[in-house]
């Protein structure tokens, strides 16, 4: 059994926070939670990126040790549980399937990049919408006509992002870049007006 390389893959692929959340724990501010290994009134189990440590009972370890202790499993069983629960595609009876693991890591990185883009898109559209919403009340504003023509489209973008963000990413990714560029020009214009005025 090739547990050494599989162990490294599990430790590199999973964060302590995602393992704890997956198994139903609520993480509090400061990355702490009540220790699942003993009863306590205040949260004393600290979660780090790849490990945990409970200052109440003095127990700590990595994600594999956490699963071993929480589910009362032996090491091979904990590896198998993490492999199954997180879809790591490890071959625990022989050599690790490097291609499957690489695909899993790439898939996770793509998911993280998409979440980052989604937050960026929501921020851009929200800021632009709020600005134009304010400007639509002022016919003398140089942005009044832009507000009248763009607000409905921005509300449509909001709906699309909420209903089907993946499809919006495929079809309107460039529109978000245009909005971001437009916001930069508006900020530049407003700073110039403030400086001159």
- Three-class HEC string of 61-101: EEHHHHHHHHHCCCHHHHHHHHHHHCCCCCCCCCCCCHHHH
pLDDT for the residue 194: 76
**Domain extent listing, the chain:** 3-96, 105-196
**Is this structure's pTM higher than 0.75?**
no
What residue has token string 């700073």? 191
Give the CA distances from residue 162 to residues 5, 113, 170, 183, 189, in Å, rounded to whole numbers and listed in that order: 40, 17, 14, 22, 31
Contact 5, 96 (CB under 8 A): yes
CATH of the domain spanning 3-96: 3.90.580.10
pLDDT of residue 3: 46
Q: What are the strands, taking DSSP E only, across 40-193?
A: 45-47, 51-54, 60-62
State residue 39's pLDDT score. 87
Q: Quick check: 2 and 96 in contact, CB under 8 A?
A: yes
Which pLDDT value is given to residue 97? 58
- Positions of the chain with pLDDT under 50: 1-3
Read off the tokens for 195: 């400086």
109: number of Cβ within 10 Å: 10
Q: For residue 197, what pLDDT is reported?
A: 53
The residues near 93 (Cβ < 8 Å, ≥ 6 apart) are 1
Q: How far apart are CA 143 and CA 134, in angstroms?
A: 10
Q: What is the pLDDT of residue 23?
A: 93
């Amino acid at each position: 059994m090739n547990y050494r390389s599989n162990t490294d893959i599990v430790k590199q692929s999973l964060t302590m926070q995602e393992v704890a959340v997956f198994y139903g724990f609520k993480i509090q501010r400061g990355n702490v939670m009540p220790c699942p290994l003993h009863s306590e009134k205040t949260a004393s189990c600290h979660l780090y990126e790849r490990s945990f440590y409970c200052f109440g009972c003095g127990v700590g370890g990595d994600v594999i040790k956490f699963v071993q202790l929480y589910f009362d499993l032996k090491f091979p069983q904990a590896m198998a549980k993490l492999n199954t629960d997180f879809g790591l595609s490890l071959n625990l009876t022989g050599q690790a399937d490097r291609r499957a693991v690489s695909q899993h890591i790439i898939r996770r990185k793509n998911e993280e990049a998409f979440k980052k883009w989604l937050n960026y898109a929501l921020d851009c559209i929200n800021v632009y919408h709020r600005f134009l919403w304010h400007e639509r009340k002022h016919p003398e504003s140089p942005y009044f006509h832009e507000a009248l023509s763009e607000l409905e489209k921005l509300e449509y973008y909001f709906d699309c992002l909420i209903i089907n963000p993946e499809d919006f990413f495929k079809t309107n990714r460039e529109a978000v870049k245009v909005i971001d560029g437009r916001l930069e020009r508006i900020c530049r214009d407003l700073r110039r007006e403030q400086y001159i005025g």
